[in-house]
Each structure stands twice: as C-alpha cells, then as structure tokens.
Structure 1
Amino acid sequence: MELYLIRHGIAEERRPEITDAKRALTKEGRQKTAKIALRLKKLNLNFDLILTSPLVRAYQTAEVLVENGVGSHCEECQYLSPEGNLFDWVTQWFMEKDRAVMGQLALVGHEPCLGEWAEILVWGESKASLIVKKAGIIGIKIPDLGSPIGRSQMFWLTPPKYLL
C-alpha cells in the first residue's frame, strides 16, 4: 500500500476571535491546493480513501482533493488531529482493517505530526528532521505484512512549489 501524508493548505492566521480548530483555508490556500490536486491527477494518483484531521483547514484540503478528482471520498479521523497518536492509529487501522484492498491512502493533517509520523514509519522513531510544507506531500510504501513501524520506505517528499 502507498500512504500519502499531506499537510493542509494555507490557512487563516491565528487570531484571538477564532479557535485553532476553526481556522479555514484562505482563498490562496484553496487555489494552490486545487492546482496541486490537478497535478496529482496528471500523475495518476487516485486515493482509494482520504482520511483527514477534523480541524477545518485539513478537512477543507481533503474536500478540495476530492472535488478535483484525486480521491472518491474523505472521512474524518480523530487520530489526525494535532493530539493524535500514530501508534493508536496503526493498531486501529492496520491491525483491524483489511488493508490489502487499499492501493493508495491519503492522510491530511498537520505539522509537526506528519513529519514525525513519517519518521516513525520509516525509522521507527521520530528524529524531528522531516518537515512537510503547507500542501506538501510525503509518500511512504507500507509493507504488506506486519506492523509498518520502522519497516516502511519513503519514496516521495515534495514541497508544494514542485507541484504548482
């Protein structure tokens, strides 16, 4: 299975009158995310499922991907919130679901979580070295059997400027 970790697009700045969870994509963020989605479509990416953080900016990013034909649908996933836990998600997703039917799965979330998750999947521990830019993508090949922790292979690390 190919797992794609996608950071949300450009969002509203933090302001006292709006909670972090309610910060939405800006017009520019929506436009750039749509352009990136179209580029991903040209690269023949078509996610079987897009799981997204419940925070507004991430969910909107996932919706833009679906609207532009890069995935058929998106579902909210609490594990992708900034407080989410990779080990809990791996246990729930990989140990309880039949992942053999999944070819390409996208996770839309936040930094530093996505970079840390990628490091744990590839190296078995977080080294605080990988950074995913807004609307950037990390592609990881997940092994067919057993836990993916420390056994996965990163094949793609792309900042958004290379997809625009």
Structure 2
Amino acid sequence: MRLYFLRHGLAEDPRPHLKDAERHLTSEGIAEMKRVALGIKALDLSFDVLLTSPYARALETAEILADVLHWPKERFVVEARLQPGLFDPPTLQTLVQERRPQEGLLLVGHEPTLSGNIAWLCGGNVKMKKAGLACVEVFDLQPRSGLLLWLLTPKQLCLIAKAV
C-alpha cells in the first residue's frame, strides 16, 4: 500500500485576531496549487480515498486537487484527526486500519506532523515544503517499516505539469 502526504499550499500569515484554523490559501497559493494539482494528475496516482485536515488552508488545497482529478465526493473525507497537533503515528495507524485501503491513501495536512509521520514510517528525517507531495510504500504500520519512494517539491510538480 502507498501513503501520499500532501502539505497544504501557501497560506495567509498568522494574525492576532485570526484563528489558525481559519487561515486560507493566498491568491499565490491557490494559483500554485492549481499547477501542482496538474502535476499530481500527470503522475496518475492510485489511491482509495483523499483525507484532509479541516483547517481552511488544507481543505482548500484538497478541494483544488479533487477538482483537477475529478475526484468523487464520496471518496473525499474531511478528517479532524489530521489537524495540527493531532496527527501522530498512532492516529495514522488508526486511520489506515479504519479505511483499509487497497491501493493507498492521500492525506492532506500540515507540518511538522506530515514529516513526523514519514520519519516514523521510514526512519529518516524529511521536511515537506508547502504544496509538496511525498509517497511512502508501507509494508507494515510499524516504525521504520516503510520506504520513502519520492518527495516532490511544488516546483518539481509544476514542471511535471508543464511537461505533459
């Protein structure tokens, strides 16, 4: 099974009276995410379900991707456990066990929890860029039981989109 980890796109900066969960993608973040989504589409990935954090910036990222992929609404799930501070290895294990994906899961979320889960699975440190995408082959949901197949930056995904 493969797990795909997508970090949300470029979002508004924190402001005193703006809750973190309400920070939206910037216009630049939206434009970049549309190009990134085209790159992801060109990769022709297979996954059973798209799970996204409910935070505005992650939800918008997932919606852009779902629109470009023509992703069925019944396989697009807002998952509260993907929000910052909650998405840890035990939560990842639970999500996979609940979903029992045949091909894989695409998880849209935040740093540092995405990188933390990848490190737990693969035993190495990575850092996800905004709008970056990682693919991990999972053999068993235990520490160091996965293999990081690739980690693509938004620039690389945009180049893939241009090449098609």
TM-score higher than 0.5? yes
Distance 1:32-1:70 versus aligned 2 partners, 3 A rule: farther
- Which residue of 89, 92, 110 maps to 1:90? 92
* 2:45 alignment partner in structure 1: 45
Deviation at 1:76, TM superposition (A): 1.4
**RMSD over aligned Cα, in angstroms?**
1.8
Deviation at 1:96, TM superposition (A): 4.0
Higher helix share: 2
Gap regions ≥5 residues in structure 2: 159-164
Contact in 2 for aligned 1:115/1:130 (Cα 8 Å) = yes
- Which residue of 123, 129, 132 maps to 1:133? 129
Distance 1:97-1:6 versus aligned 2 partners, 3 A rule: closer
* 2:13 alignment partner in structure 1: 13
Following the alignment from structure 1 to structure 2, what is the Cα–Cα distance between the partners of residues 96 and 22? 28
Deviation at 1:19, TM superposition (A): 0.8
Following the alignment from structure 1 to structure 2, what is the Cα–Cα distance between the partners of residues 83 and 120? 16
Contact in 2 for aligned 1:45/1:70 (Cα 8 Å) = no
Distance 1:44-1:91 versus aligned 2 partners, 3 A rule: closer
Following the alignment from structure 1 to structure 2, what is the Cα–Cα distance between the partners of residues 107 and 56? 15
Deviation at 1:18, TM superposition (A): 1.1
Aligned residues: 156
**What amino acid maps onto 2:110 in structure 1?**
H
Is 1:155 paired with 2:157? no
Contact in 1 for aligned 2:41/2:69 (Cα 8 Å) = yes
Runs of 4 or more consecutive aligned structure 1 residues displaced over 4 Å after TM superposition: none
Deviation at 1:87, TM superposition (A): 3.0
* 50-59 or 38-47, which deviates more: 38-47
Instruction: Give the secondary structure class of the aligned counterpart of 1:156.
Output: strand
Distance 1:54-1:6 versus aligned 2 partners, 3 A rule: same
Gap regions ≥5 residues in structure 1: none
* 1:77 alignment partner in structure 2: 79
**What amino acid maps onto 1:38 in structure 2?**
L
Contact in 2 for aligned 1:53/1:80 (Cα 8 Å) = yes
Identity score, percent: 35
Following the alignment from structure 2 to structure 1, what is the Cα–Cα distance between the partners of residues 129 and 108? 12
Contact in 2 for aligned 1:46/1:71 (Cα 8 Å) = no
Q: Structure 2-normalised TM-score? A: 0.86
